[in-house]
Amino acid sequence: MIKNLNYILILLTIFILVAIGVIFIYGSSYSWVQSLQFANWRQTVTYQNYVSDMNVAVLPLSVALVILLGLCVPKRIFSGVALLQSMAALLVVSVLVVLVYGLKPGIGFLLITAVLIQAVVIGMTLVGSKRLSYEVNGFYLQIGSAVLHLGFILFVFDFVLLGESTLHLTVYWVSTVLISVGMILSFYSGEISRLAEERVSRR
Amino acid sequence: MINNEYLLAREFTSRIGQPIMFLILALSIGLAICVALPRLRKYSQAAAFSLVLLMASGWLVLIAFHYKISTSLVLVDPTGQLPSGRFMIPVWIENEKFFFWTLVLGVLVLIGRRRPVAYQSVLTMILAVFGILTFFTSNPFSAPLAGFHADLTNYAGVLASSLDPMVRAQAFHSLHGKMVGYYNSAYMWIHPPMLFIAYSTFVLAFVGNIFMLKKEREQDYERLAYTWAKPGFILLTVGLLIGYPWAVAAWAGEPWWYDPKINITLMMWLLYSAYLHARLYIHRRGMWVTTAILGYLGFLGVVITYLTTYVIPGIHSVAG
């Protein structure tokens, strides 16, 4: 089970991503049908209902994705039974926060915890800690993956908790930069590593 | 505001560009024949190179036209409250979009090294189809910047037909708003080219995915698909992220949540994201085919996203 945990998390992620995609196809088809029947349908109650229905359909899957994203973070630091325990603890506390304070604070708690753990992971990766476990090898790939996930967590956090705040766009741009840098480092780690080695050897 | 200099430049662009488009059509058909007939396949590289060269020269003509627009047209506020402005229109709007996509695809087809012959043949055939489609569906020279020209004509019509200062000011503000928020927007210079370059790289990834389904465990095709999906995904993600702040500002007060084009674009992003996740475990049972199918569906998303703009009405569409 623990051996296959990463694989199971990836399969779940794929399933959720595709499922949200299917909902979006339905949404577009519905919009199309409505716009064929009534050109100004976006100014009607039907559009308001459509947005509400889409929110209802997308929300559970988005929450599941956030939970998966949150659960994926401790796997860098913990392994074996400790990983399962830390994941379960994070999930249970988040559910408790949801029950006591509501959905937004619950997801917010999960995301803040994930951001903090991810920041620790990045710090440990930077100093070359041997305690971290990655599915992939290579410094740039690992740091890229960590920065990319931090960017995504921050992105979701921004929309969940700061949507109406004046900080919304600032945090949005920070997450955009992290996602962009993370993707470049992850996808081109080999090339970046070679370039870095060449520069070092030239000195 | 519409002056002879602009009208002459528009006519000149069409007169120079139309023969180029006919040559593009002829070369595209020739390229398709070269790829289809093994006897002529040795000429396909030269034909593809000529096609790209021709498209690049066509694009230069368009750049010259856009430059002429920026120097010849001045939008003046009839009330004198706002400073006069010039149009700085990027070279990938209206029918130029697909032309740009085809041009980028052509460059990517040419720059390939050590690709499997079958892969390169399918890719070159797709380029030929793109060339033919450009002629029949997105010819930017038959009526250069038709939408922009219609905006100018409407504005000039109001100025000519009405002396009412309110009506004139309203018409000015409508065109000025479009100039600032759309035609001259910095976002229009960044967001569309990022997405169209991404779409072009996804074509290359898609061909790799097709061969992945045909030839199980052929690492070359998987590597090719991944090599080209990577830059596409980066450009797509960053392009979409850049789009959000613009949408918030430009569509303030308008209903745009779950707009059909935005839905489909997000679906495409989700599918490519799923593809990249699946690829991490590609050597597990069933994951090779799953990865290939996800990549395949992602590209189907690219096609649907592009078509949605013209088919399904919405805030991000030209349909309806």
Q: Does B92 contact A at CB distance below 8 Å?
A: no
Pair B81, B18 in one domain? yes
Query: Alpha carbon B228 to chain centroid distance?
Result: 18
Place of tokens 């999930």: A91
The predicted-structure confidence for B160-185, as pLDDT tens digits, reads as follows 898 888 898 899 999 998 998 889 99
Pair B198, B177 in one domain? no
Residue A83 clears pLDDT 70, i.e. is over it:
yes
Select from B121, B149, B184 the last residue of a domain. Answer: B184
Least Cα distance to A70 among A140, A142, A7, A154 occurs for A154
H and E: helices and strands count for chain B: 10, 2
Pair B139, B193 in one domain? no
Contact indicator for B105, B64 with CB cutoff of 8 Å: no
Pair B1, B145 in one domain? yes
The predicted-structure confidence for B221-235, as pLDDT tens digits, reads as follows 999 999 999 999 999
Residue A2 clears pLDDT 60, i.e. is over it:
no
Q: Range with the lowest mean pLDDT among A29-33, A61-65, A130-134, B85-89?
A: A130-134
Contact A32 B260 (CB under 8 A): yes
Q: Give the model's confidence band at B248: pLDDT under 50 very low, under 70 low, under 90 confident, else very high.
A: confident
Pair B158, B26 in one domain? yes
Q: Give the model's confidence band at B206: pLDDT under 50 very low, under 70 low, under 90 confident, else very high.
A: very high
CA distances from B300 to A40, B79, B260 (A): 29, 50, 16
The predicted-structure confidence for A149-200, as pLDDT tens digits, reads as follows 889 889 988 988 888 889 999 999 999 999 999 999 999 988 998 888 888 8
Residue A181 and residue B192: Cα distance in Å, rounded? 21
Q: Does B314 contact A at CB distance below 8 Å?
A: yes
Contact indicator for A147, A109 with CB cutoff of 8 Å: no
Q: How far is A203 from chain B (nearest CA, A)?
A: 31
pLDDT at position B138 is 93
Q: How far is A34 from chain B (nearest CA, A)?
A: 10
B74 - beta bridge partners?
Answer: B86
pLDDT at position B198 is 97
Pair B130, B250 in one domain? no
Residue B302 and residue B271: Cα distance in Å, rounded? 10
Residue B7 and residue B149: Cα distance in Å, rounded? 10
Identity of the residue numbered B213: L
Interface test with A, best of B263, B296, B302, B316 (most A CBs within 10 A): B263
Select from B137, B165, B184 the last residue of a domain. Answer: B184
Residues of A in contact with B271 (CB under 8 A): 17-18, 21
Contact B274 A14 (CB under 8 A): yes
Query: Which ipTM score applies to this complex?
Result: 0.88
Pair B5, B142 in one domain? yes
Nearest CA in chain A to B230: A187
pLDDT at position B163 is 84
pLDDT at position A135 is 64
Residue B48 and residue B52: Cα distance in Å, rounded? 6
Pair B159, B267 in one domain? no
The predicted-structure confidence for B39-66, as pLDDT tens digits, reads as follows 998 899 999 999 999 999 999 999 999 9
pLDDT at position B76 is 86
Residues of B in contact with A50 (CB under 8 A): 258
pLDDT at position A202 is 78
User: Domains in chain B: how many in total?
Assistant: 2
Pair B218, B247 in one domain? yes
Residue A1 clears pLDDT 70, i.e. is over it:
no
Residue B255 and residue B170: Cα distance in Å, rounded? 23
The predicted-structure confidence for B249-277, as pLDDT tens digits, reads as follows 888 888 788 899 999 999 999 999 999 99
Identity of the residue numbered A100: V
Contact A176 B238 (CB under 8 A): yes
Select from B184, B216, B233 the last residue of a domain. Answer: B184
Interface test with A, best of B235, B238, B241 (most A CBs within 10 A): B241
Residue B26 structural domain: 1-184
Least Cα distance to B178 among B156, B147, B144 occurs for B147
Query: Alpha carbon A200 to chain centroid distance?
Result: 35
pLDDT at position B253 is 80
Element (H, E) at B75: strand B74-75
Pair B164, B32 in one domain? yes
What is the rounded end-to-end Cα distance, in angstroms, of chain A?
Answer: 48
Residues of A in contact with B273 (CB under 8 A): 17
Contact indicator for A168, A162 with CB cutoff of 8 Å: yes
Q: How far is B198 from chain A (nearest CA, A)?
A: 14
Q: What share of chain B is helix, strand, coil (3-state, %, to 5)?
A: 75, 0, 20
Contact A183 B320 (CB under 8 A): no
Contact B264 A25 (CB under 8 A): yes
The string of DSSP letters for A115-152 reads: HHHHHHHHHHHHTT-SS---SS-SHHHHHHHHHHHHHH
Burial class (CB within 10 angstroms; exposed 0-12, middle 13-18, buried 19+) of B112: middle
Pair B226, B300 in one domain? yes
The model carries a pTM of: 0.91
Can you read off the two tokens belonging to residue B224? 């090719």
Pair B211, B68 in one domain? no
Contact indicator for B258, A27 with CB cutoff of 8 Å: yes
Contact A10 B280 (CB under 8 A): yes
The predicted-structure confidence for A90-139, as pLDDT tens digits, reads as follows 889 988 998 999 888 888 888 888 888 888 888 888 887 777 766 666 78
Residue A55 and residue A74: Cα distance in Å, rounded? 29
Contact indicator for B66, B89 with CB cutoff of 8 Å: yes
pLDDT at position B162 is 85
pLDDT at position A3 is 61
Residue B187 clears pLDDT 60, i.e. is over it:
yes
Q: Does B223 contact A at CB distance below 8 Å?
A: no
Contact A17 B273 (CB under 8 A): yes
pLDDT at position B303 is 96
Of residues B248 and A19, the one with the higher pLDDT is: A19
Residue A197 and residue B54: Cα distance in Å, rounded? 41
Task: Name, in order, each residue with C-beta under 8 angstroms of B153's C-beta and a sequence gap of 6 or more.
Answer: B2
